[in-house]
């Protein structure tokens, strides 16, 4: 999982990479492009998302994107490590099998689009088009037109770190840019604790605990920590009802919970407490809700926006979970919205 750290290098390398001598960049940039057949064979052995570059031979912006974005070493390293990158000529005459279906070129004109191109990007043909595919072909995110490095970064993270499971892309992009590119750093509205601090406070004033499990290399963790908890009303409610713990899964701290000692002896990449709290279903990021006696109430994996976080916090904080199932609670909130004043 440490391969995700490559993304942070992207921002630092962009200017240097784009300033390279054009003659040193191949027609494929620095990305190790694959055919559909090659990518799908590799996927059977080790699943990874696909990034599909849909281009044509005559498309100038397609060539420019290869020379710039895909010739950035940081971008290329991240794409090569985390995706199976596919370069697809939308006007090829080849027969291509994709996700169990064969597609052919049916047009007679030299520039007739391939059946698969229409399947992937629809009737509104535009080049370049970039498709991000994950979750066994179930998740598809299309971006049309030239993509510069800064614009590509949140698209990559959204796909690789499963952000799409709990968030739409436009909301995540806004928060990603706040976390990584805003020059004004807003002070946190919510009070963060270490695990040891929360456990000590629990002895004299028991409250529920929210454990936010993250790592330094998890990009969506950083976005979530810097943006999702910063609504003032939500932060005030969390501070009143919970102890909010920022737990780094790479921590070397020794932690004792309910008589059980957890410590990272270096034999595994992550702290054993991260696996224990998530019941060996560890994902990044993860929120774990503990009750006043430090028993696990629930585990919520993957990135959450502030909007998605709010009803979860109230569901457990107001003890609604004791009498209502999650969907019943959501139905109730549709009829009677939360009063957060």
Confidence of residue 4 (pLDDT cuts 50, 70, 90): very low
11 Cβ contact list (under 8 Å, min separation 6): 74, 153, 180
Top-ranked range on mean pLDDT: pick from 17-31, 100-114, 168-182, 186-200: 168-182
Task: Determine the Cα–Cα distance for residues 161 and 295; give it in Å rounded to an integer.
Answer: 28
Residue showing tokens 């796909």: 159
Task: Give the mean pLDDT of 295-320.
Answer: 97
> 309-340 burial string, b = 16+ CB within 10 Å, else e?
bbbbbbbbbeebbeeeeeeebeeeeeeeeeee
In the predicted model, is pLDDT for residue 21 greater than 60? no
Task: Kindly report which listed range (64-68, 124-128, 275-279, 333-337) carries the lowest average pLDDT score.
Answer: 333-337
pLDDT, position 9: 42
pLDDT reported for residue 26: 75
| 117 close to 62: Cβ distance less than 8 angstroms | no
Q: What are phi and psi of 50, to 5 degrees?
A: -100, 145
Asked if the model's pLDDT at residue 245 lies above 80, the reply is yes
**Beta partners for residue 296, in sequence order:** 290
Q: What is the Cα–Cα distance from 121 to 45, expressed in whole angstroms?
A: 27
Q: What integer is the mean pLDDT of 147-161?
A: 98
Domains of the chain: 2-160 (3.40.30.10), 192-335 (3.40.30.10)
CA distance 69 to 65: 5
pTM beyond 0.95: the answer is no
The region of weakest confidence among 91-95, 127-131, 298-302, 331-335 is 331-335
34-38, 60-64, 183-187: range with lowest mean pLDDT: 183-187
| Look-up of token digits 């109430």 | 297
pLDDT (0 to 100) of residue 340? 56
Digit-coded pLDDT (tens) for 278-304: 999 999 999 999 999 999 999 999 999
Lowest mean pLDDT among 65-69, 171-175, 336-340: 336-340
Confidence of residue 266 (pLDDT cuts 50, 70, 90): confident
Crossing angle of helices 326-335/306-317, nearest 10°?
A: 110
pLDDT of residue 106: 84
Q: How far is CA 279 from CA 25, 48, 238, 288, 309, in A?
A: 47, 24, 24, 10, 21
Which helix (H) or strand (E) segment is 298 a member of? strand 296-301
User: CA dihedral in degrees (5, 8, 12, 15; nearest 10)?
Assistant: 100
How do strand 208-214 and strand 242-248 relate by DSSP bridges? parallel
The rounded mean pLDDT for the chain is 91
Q: CB neighbours of 295 closer than 8 A, spacing ≥ 6?
A: none
Query: 3-state class of 286 per DSSP?
Result: strand
Q: Looking at the predicted structure, is the pLDDT value of residue 17 above 60?
A: no
- Tell me the three-class secondary structure of 189-207, residue by residue: CCCEECHHHHHHHHHHCCC
Q: What is the rounded average pLDDT of the residues 315-325?
A: 97
271, 264 contact by CB (below 8 A) = yes
- Which pLDDT belongs to residue 71? 97
Give the integer Cα–Cα distance in Å for 270 and 283: 11
Q: Give dist(CA 106, CA 119) in Å, integer.
A: 13
* Mean pLDDT of the region 4-26: 48
Task: List, in sequence order, every beta strand (DSSP E) within 32-162.
Answer: 50-55, 84-89, 96-98, 101-103, 129-134, 139-144
According to the model, what pLDDT value does residue 185 have?
64
The pair of three-digit structure tokens given for residue 164, joined into one six-digit string: 């799409």
Whether 172 contacts 302, CB under 8 Å: no
Residue-level pLDDT at 25: 64
Mean pLDDT of 127-134: 98
């Amino acid at each position: 999982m440490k391969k995700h750290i490559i993304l942070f290098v992207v921002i630092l390398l962009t200017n240097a990479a784009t300033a390279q001598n054009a003659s040193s960049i191949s027609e494929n940039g620095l990305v190790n492009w694959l055919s559909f057949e090659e990518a799908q064979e590799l996927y059977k052995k080790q699943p990874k998302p696909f990034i599909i570059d849909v281009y044509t031979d005559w498309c100038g912006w397609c060539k420019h994107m290869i020379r710039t974005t895909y010739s950035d070493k940081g971008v290329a390293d991240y794409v090569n490590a985390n995706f199976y990158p596919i370069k697809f000529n939308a006007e090829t005459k080849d027969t291509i099998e994709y996700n169990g279906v064969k597609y052919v070129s049916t047009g007679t004109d030299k520039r007739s689009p391939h059946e698969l191109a229409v399947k992937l990007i629809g009737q509104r043909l535009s080049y370049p088009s970039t498709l991000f595919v994950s979750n066994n072909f179930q998740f598809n995110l299309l971006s049309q037109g030239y993509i510069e490095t800064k614009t590509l970064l949140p698209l990559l993270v959204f796909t690789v770190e499963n952000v799409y499971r709990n968030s739409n892309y436009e909301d995540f992009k806004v928060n990603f840019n706040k976390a990584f590119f805003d020059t004004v750093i807003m002070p946190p509205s919510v009070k963060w604790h270490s695990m040891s601090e929360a456990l000590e406070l629990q002895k004299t004033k028991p409250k529920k605990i929210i454990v936010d499990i993250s790592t330094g290399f998890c990009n969506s963790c950083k976005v979530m920590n810097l943006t999702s908890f910063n609504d003032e009303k939500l932060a005030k409610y969390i501070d009143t009802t919970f102890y909010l713990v920022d737990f780094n899964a790479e921590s070397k701290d020794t932690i004792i919970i309910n008589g059980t000692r957890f410590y990272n002896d270096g034999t595994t990449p992550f702290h054993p407490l991260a696996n224990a709290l998530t019941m060996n279903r560890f994902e990044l990021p993860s929120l774990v809700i503990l009750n006043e006696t430090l028993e696990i109430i629930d585990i919520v994996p993957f990135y959450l926006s502030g909007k998605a976080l709010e009803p979860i916090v109230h569901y457990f904080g107001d003890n609604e979970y004791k009498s209502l199932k999650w969907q019943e609670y959501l139905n109730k909130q549709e009829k009677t919205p939360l009063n957060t004043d």
